[in-house]
Protein backbone atom coordinates (compact mmCIF):
# COMPACT_ATOMS: atom_id res chain seq x y z
CA UNK A 1 0.00 0.00 0.00
CA UNK A 2 1.41 3.38 -0.99
CA UNK A 3 0.87 6.67 0.81
CA UNK A 4 -0.39 9.62 -1.23
CA UNK A 5 -1.06 13.19 -0.12
CA UNK A 6 -3.91 15.07 -1.80
CA UNK A 7 -4.42 18.81 -1.38
CA UNK A 8 -7.91 20.15 -1.93
CA UNK A 9 -9.18 16.76 -0.78
CA UNK A 10 -12.52 17.94 0.62
CA UNK A 11 -14.32 18.66 -2.66
CA UNK A 12 -14.26 18.56 -6.43
CA UNK A 13 -11.35 16.96 -8.23
CA UNK A 14 -9.39 16.51 -5.02
CA UNK A 15 -12.21 14.59 -3.34
CA UNK A 16 -12.73 12.42 -6.42
CA UNK A 17 -8.99 11.67 -6.54
CA UNK A 18 -8.83 10.81 -2.84
CA UNK A 19 -11.81 8.47 -3.20
CA UNK A 20 -10.33 6.71 -6.23
CA UNK A 21 -7.00 6.26 -4.48
CA UNK A 22 -8.59 4.88 -1.32
CA UNK A 23 -10.75 2.51 -3.36
CA UNK A 24 -7.57 1.22 -4.99
CA UNK A 25 -6.11 0.46 -1.57
CA UNK A 26 -3.82 3.42 -1.09
CA UNK A 27 -3.47 5.39 2.10
CA UNK A 28 -4.51 9.01 1.52
CA UNK A 29 -3.50 12.03 3.59
CA UNK A 30 -5.96 14.80 2.77
CA UNK A 31 -5.15 18.49 3.03
CA UNK A 32 -7.83 21.19 2.88
CA UNK A 33 -9.28 24.12 4.76
CA UNK A 34 -11.60 21.76 6.63
CA UNK A 35 -12.82 18.14 6.63
CA UNK A 36 -9.29 16.88 6.03
CA UNK A 37 -6.53 15.01 7.84
CA UNK A 38 -4.42 18.16 7.68
CA UNK A 39 -6.38 21.43 7.91
CA UNK A 40 -4.39 24.22 6.26
CA UNK A 41 -4.85 27.45 4.31
CA UNK A 42 -2.37 27.55 1.44
CA UNK A 43 -2.88 31.29 0.93
CA UNK A 44 -0.65 32.05 3.93
CA UNK A 45 2.95 31.12 4.72
CA UNK A 46 1.98 29.57 8.05
CA UNK A 47 -0.73 27.51 6.36
CA UNK A 48 1.72 26.16 3.80
CA UNK A 49 4.11 25.22 6.60
CA UNK A 50 1.27 23.52 8.47
CA UNK A 51 0.32 21.55 5.35
CA UNK A 52 3.85 20.29 4.73
CA UNK A 53 4.58 19.51 8.37
CA UNK A 54 1.19 17.86 8.83
CA UNK A 55 1.73 15.53 5.90
CA UNK A 56 5.32 14.74 6.92
CA UNK A 57 4.17 13.89 10.43
CA UNK A 58 1.52 11.49 9.14
CA UNK A 59 3.74 9.77 6.58
CA UNK A 60 6.84 9.64 8.80
CA UNK A 61 8.79 11.54 6.18
CA UNK A 62 8.21 9.01 3.38
CA UNK A 63 5.66 9.73 0.64
CA UNK A 64 4.92 7.70 -2.49
CA UNK A 65 2.62 10.15 -4.26
CA UNK A 66 1.24 13.66 -4.24
CA UNK A 67 -1.73 15.18 -6.04
CA UNK A 68 -1.90 18.96 -5.68
CA UNK A 69 -5.53 19.91 -6.38
CA UNK A 70 -6.14 22.85 -4.04
CA UNK A 71 -7.13 25.98 -5.90
CA UNK A 72 -9.43 28.99 -6.14
CA UNK A 73 -11.50 30.25 -9.07
CA UNK A 74 -11.60 33.64 -10.79
CA UNK A 75 -14.77 34.66 -8.97
CA UNK A 76 -12.91 35.21 -5.67
CA UNK A 77 -12.93 38.92 -4.84
CA UNK A 78 -9.50 38.88 -3.21
CA UNK A 79 -7.51 38.50 -6.43
CA UNK A 80 -4.18 38.22 -4.60
CA UNK A 81 -5.52 35.19 -2.75
CA UNK A 82 -6.21 33.43 -6.06
CA UNK A 83 -2.55 33.48 -7.04
CA UNK A 84 -1.40 32.88 -3.47
CA UNK A 85 -3.24 29.57 -3.34
CA UNK A 86 -3.01 28.48 -6.97
CA UNK A 87 0.67 29.26 -7.47
CA UNK A 88 2.59 30.15 -4.31
CA UNK A 89 0.79 27.71 -2.04
CA UNK A 90 0.99 24.83 -4.48
CA UNK A 91 4.69 25.36 -5.20
CA UNK A 92 5.45 25.56 -1.49
CA UNK A 93 3.73 22.23 -0.92
CA UNK A 94 5.35 20.35 -3.79
CA UNK A 95 8.79 21.67 -2.88
CA UNK A 96 8.24 21.02 0.81
CA UNK A 97 7.23 17.41 0.17
CA UNK A 98 9.90 16.70 -2.45
CA UNK A 99 12.36 15.24 0.10
CA UNK A 100 9.69 12.81 1.34
CA UNK A 101 8.84 11.82 -2.23
CA UNK A 102 12.52 11.10 -2.89
CA UNK A 103 12.34 8.49 -0.14
CA UNK A 104 9.18 6.91 -1.53
CA UNK A 105 8.74 3.91 -3.79
CA UNK A 106 8.38 4.77 -7.51
CA UNK A 107 7.20 8.17 -6.33
CA UNK A 108 5.29 10.60 -8.54
CA UNK A 109 3.43 13.88 -8.21
CA UNK A 110 0.58 15.38 -10.20
CA UNK A 111 -0.27 19.08 -10.11
CA UNK A 112 -3.68 20.28 -11.23
CA UNK A 113 -3.16 23.30 -13.47
CA UNK A 114 -5.83 24.47 -15.94
CA UNK A 115 -6.47 24.91 -19.62
CA UNK A 116 -6.36 28.60 -18.67
CA UNK A 117 -2.60 28.16 -18.31
CA UNK A 118 -2.45 28.27 -22.12
CA UNK A 119 -4.29 31.60 -22.37
CA UNK A 120 -1.13 33.66 -22.11
CA UNK A 121 2.57 33.18 -22.71
CA UNK A 122 5.05 33.08 -19.85
CA UNK A 123 6.83 36.09 -21.34
CA UNK A 124 3.58 38.05 -20.98
CA UNK A 125 2.69 36.76 -17.51
CA UNK A 126 2.03 39.73 -15.19
CA UNK A 127 3.06 37.74 -12.12
CA UNK A 128 6.67 37.30 -13.25
CA UNK A 129 8.08 39.93 -10.89
CA UNK A 130 6.11 38.66 -7.90
CA UNK A 131 7.28 35.13 -8.62
CA UNK A 132 10.92 35.97 -9.23
CA UNK A 133 11.15 38.16 -6.11
CA UNK A 134 8.83 36.07 -3.95
CA UNK A 135 6.95 39.25 -3.07
CA UNK A 136 3.27 38.30 -2.96
CA UNK A 137 2.29 41.90 -2.17
CA UNK A 138 2.84 42.66 -5.87
CA UNK A 139 0.05 40.36 -7.07
CA UNK A 140 -2.95 42.68 -6.87
CA UNK A 141 -1.27 45.52 -8.73
CA UNK A 142 0.16 43.13 -11.31
CA UNK A 143 -3.29 41.94 -12.38
CA UNK A 144 -5.12 45.25 -11.96
CA UNK A 145 -5.08 45.77 -15.75
CA UNK A 146 -7.74 43.08 -15.94
CA UNK A 147 -10.28 45.53 -14.49
CA UNK A 148 -13.52 43.82 -13.55
CA UNK A 149 -12.04 40.59 -14.87
CA UNK A 150 -8.79 40.77 -12.90
CA UNK A 151 -9.82 37.58 -11.11
CA UNK A 152 -9.61 35.69 -14.40
CA UNK A 153 -6.31 37.45 -15.13
CA UNK A 154 -4.94 36.29 -11.76
CA UNK A 155 -6.32 32.79 -12.32
CA UNK A 156 -4.82 32.34 -15.79
CA UNK A 157 -1.50 33.92 -14.79
CA UNK A 158 -1.23 31.76 -11.69
CA UNK A 159 -1.98 28.55 -13.56
CA UNK A 160 0.44 29.51 -16.35
CA UNK A 161 3.14 30.12 -13.77
CA UNK A 162 2.31 26.81 -12.08
CA UNK A 163 2.75 24.81 -15.28
CA UNK A 164 6.04 26.61 -15.92
CA UNK A 165 7.19 25.81 -12.36
CA UNK A 166 6.48 22.11 -12.89
CA UNK A 167 8.32 21.99 -16.20
CA UNK A 168 11.30 23.83 -14.70
CA UNK A 169 11.56 21.13 -12.05
CA UNK A 170 11.64 18.25 -14.53
CA UNK A 171 15.42 17.90 -14.57
CA UNK A 172 15.93 17.93 -10.79
CA UNK A 173 12.96 15.73 -9.99
CA UNK A 174 13.72 13.28 -12.77
CA UNK A 175 17.30 12.89 -11.56
CA UNK A 176 15.92 12.18 -8.10
CA UNK A 177 13.62 9.48 -9.47
CA UNK A 178 10.39 11.38 -8.83
CA UNK A 179 8.07 11.97 -11.79
CA UNK A 180 6.17 15.26 -11.94
CA UNK A 181 3.37 16.18 -14.37
CA UNK A 182 0.39 18.50 -14.66
CA UNK A 183 -3.18 17.96 -15.74
CA UNK A 184 -5.01 20.96 -17.20
CA UNK A 185 -8.78 20.60 -16.90
CA UNK A 186 -11.29 22.71 -18.74
CA UNK A 187 -14.81 23.17 -17.33
CA UNK A 188 -15.44 20.44 -14.76
CA UNK A 189 -18.58 20.11 -12.64
CA UNK A 190 -17.14 21.12 -9.28
CA UNK A 191 -18.16 23.60 -6.56
CA UNK A 192 -15.55 25.97 -8.01
CA UNK A 193 -17.22 25.96 -11.43
CA UNK A 194 -20.66 26.33 -9.87
CA UNK A 195 -19.54 29.39 -7.90
CA UNK A 196 -17.93 30.93 -10.98
CA UNK A 197 -21.06 30.27 -13.05
CA UNK A 198 -23.13 32.20 -10.51
CA UNK A 199 -20.85 35.23 -10.79
CA UNK A 200 -22.38 37.91 -13.06
CA UNK A 201 -19.01 38.55 -14.69
CA UNK A 202 -18.40 34.97 -15.80
CA UNK A 203 -21.71 33.13 -15.68
CA UNK A 204 -22.93 33.92 -19.18
CA UNK A 205 -19.63 32.90 -20.78
CA UNK A 206 -19.61 29.61 -18.90
CA UNK A 207 -23.21 28.81 -19.78
CA UNK A 208 -22.84 29.86 -23.40
CA UNK A 209 -19.58 28.19 -24.37
CA UNK A 210 -19.77 24.66 -25.74
CA UNK A 211 -16.76 22.40 -26.14
CA UNK A 212 -16.45 19.96 -29.06
CA UNK A 213 -17.58 17.37 -26.55
CA UNK A 214 -20.69 19.32 -25.52
CA UNK A 215 -20.71 18.90 -21.76
CA UNK A 216 -18.65 19.66 -18.69
CA UNK A 217 -16.12 17.18 -17.43
CA UNK A 218 -16.67 15.08 -14.33
CA UNK A 219 -14.29 15.18 -11.36
CA UNK A 220 -13.79 11.42 -11.58
CA UNK A 221 -12.54 11.78 -15.16
CA UNK A 222 -9.76 14.11 -14.03
CA UNK A 223 -9.09 11.88 -11.04
CA UNK A 224 -8.70 8.88 -13.33
CA UNK A 225 -5.93 10.61 -15.27
CA UNK A 226 -4.21 11.80 -12.09
CA UNK A 227 -4.19 8.27 -10.71
CA UNK A 228 -2.84 6.90 -13.99
CA UNK A 229 0.00 9.42 -13.88
CA UNK A 230 0.88 8.27 -10.36
CA UNK A 231 1.03 4.64 -11.41
CA UNK A 232 3.59 2.33 -13.02
CA UNK A 233 2.01 2.46 -16.49
CA UNK A 234 3.08 6.11 -16.68
CA UNK A 235 6.66 5.33 -15.75
CA UNK A 236 8.18 7.30 -18.65
CA UNK A 237 5.77 10.24 -18.44
CA UNK A 238 7.50 13.22 -16.87
CA UNK A 239 7.41 17.01 -17.18
CA UNK A 240 4.27 16.88 -19.32
CA UNK A 241 0.95 18.70 -19.26
CA UNK A 242 -2.24 16.85 -20.18
CA UNK A 243 -5.17 19.00 -21.29
CA UNK A 244 -8.53 17.47 -20.34
CA UNK A 245 -11.09 19.93 -21.65
CA UNK A 246 -13.42 18.26 -24.12
CA UNK A 247 -11.46 19.73 -27.01
CA UNK A 248 -11.56 23.44 -26.09
CA UNK A 249 -7.83 24.03 -26.45
CA UNK A 250 -7.77 22.32 -29.85
CA UNK A 251 -10.76 24.39 -30.94
CA UNK A 252 -9.22 27.71 -29.93
CA UNK A 253 -5.57 26.98 -30.78
CA UNK A 254 -5.47 24.32 -33.48
CA UNK A 255 -1.94 25.20 -34.64
CA UNK A 256 -0.37 25.85 -31.21
CA UNK A 257 0.65 22.86 -29.12
Q: In this predicted model, what pLDDT tens digit does every residue of 58-88 receive, in sequence order?
A: 999 999 999 999 999 999 999 999 999 999 9
Q: How far apart are CA 138 and CA 192, in angstroms?
A: 25
Spatial strand order of the sheet with 27-32 comes to 38-39, 27-32, 3-7, 65-68, 108-112, 179-185, 241-244
Output the pLDDT for position 210.
82
Model pTM score: 0.96
Average pLDDT in the chain: 96
State whether residue 241 is helix, strand or coil: strand
Whether pLDDT at 1 is above 80: no
User: Which residues form the catalytic set?
Assistant: 155
Mean pLDDT calculated for residue range 210-239: 96
Output the pLDDT for position 208.
79
Output the pLDDT for position 120.
92
pLDDT in tens, 3-19: 999 999 999 999 999 99
The structural domains of the chain, with segments of one domain joined by +, span 3-242
Note the CATH architecture for domain 3-242. Answer: 3-Layer(aba) Sandwich (3.40)
Amino acid sequence: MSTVAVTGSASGIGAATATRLRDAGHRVIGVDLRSADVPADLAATEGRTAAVEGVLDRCDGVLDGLVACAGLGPHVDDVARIAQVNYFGTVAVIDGLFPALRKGTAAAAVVVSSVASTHLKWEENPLTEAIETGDESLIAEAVAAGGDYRGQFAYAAGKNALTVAVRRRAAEWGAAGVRLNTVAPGSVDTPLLAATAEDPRYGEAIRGFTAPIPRHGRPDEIAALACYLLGPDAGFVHGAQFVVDGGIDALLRPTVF
